Amino acid sequence: MTLGAFTIWAVDHATALVNLYRDRGEAVTRHDLQELVRNYGFSEDEVDVADFAWLADDLREVFVHPSRATRVERLNALLDRYQPTPRIVQHDSQEPHFHYVTTGPPVDHVGSSFVMAIANAVVDQGAERFGWCAAPHCQKLFFDRSRNRSQRFCSRSCATRVHVRAYRARQ
């Protein structure tokens, strides 16, 4: 893995945003969002649930189709839409790193940051690294960090659940 800490963090949180709306839909609250994007420093009053639903949908759409060409094409469309603008920043005694700034509302700020992180992950690791959990009734989006690109489940608990069921079925 050559991805930077920020990219890994943002990719994890971008997939979590997609999965949050997938699981909760209209029940997503400002509090859920504020918790998820806590690092950006927005208050609950600033994050708009409907705006973030659009962002979650934009991100989900990138990966709906398994083909690399489609994923790249949709990601390019999001780079156009969110227009991430890199700035090198230093804070909290961290090494200099990029932030992707925008003057728009929080969703634009988070969107440009997430889109840029996903773009970096795709360029560095391949569009196929993003997958959908194979467990029935889960189907969460995940970013495969396994060495041999063999991840099929979003989490250990989903993998265990499916393997236990398969084992029982053989008894």
> Which chain residues interact with Zn ion by CB under 5 A?
133, 135, 138, 140, 154, 158
Closest contact distance (angstroms) between CB of 77 and Zn ion is 26
DSSP 8-state code for residue 154: S
Residues 18, 141: Cα–Cα separation, whole Å: 7
- For Zn ion, the closer of residues 30 and 161 by Cβ is 161
- For Zn ion, the closer of residues 78 and 158 by Cβ is 158
- For Zn ion, the closer of residues 47 and 154 by Cβ is 154
Closest contact distance (angstroms) between CB of 110 and Zn ion is 13
Phi, psi of 149 (to 5 degrees): 55, 45
- For Zn ion, the closer of residues 50 and 166 by Cβ is 166
Closest contact distance (angstroms) between CB of 147 and Zn ion is 20
Residues 73, 133: Cα–Cα separation, whole Å: 23
- For Zn ion, the closer of residues 14 and 138 by Cβ is 138
Closest contact distance (angstroms) between CB of 135 and Zn ion is 4
Closest contact distance (angstroms) between CB of 84 and Zn ion is 14
Closest by CA position to 33, among listed 21, 22, 140: 21
Instruction: List % helix, strand, coil for the chain (3-state, nearest 5).
Output: 60, 10, 30
Residues 95, 64: Cα–Cα separation, whole Å: 35
Euclidean distance between the first and the last CA atom of the chain, given in angstroms as a whole number: 40
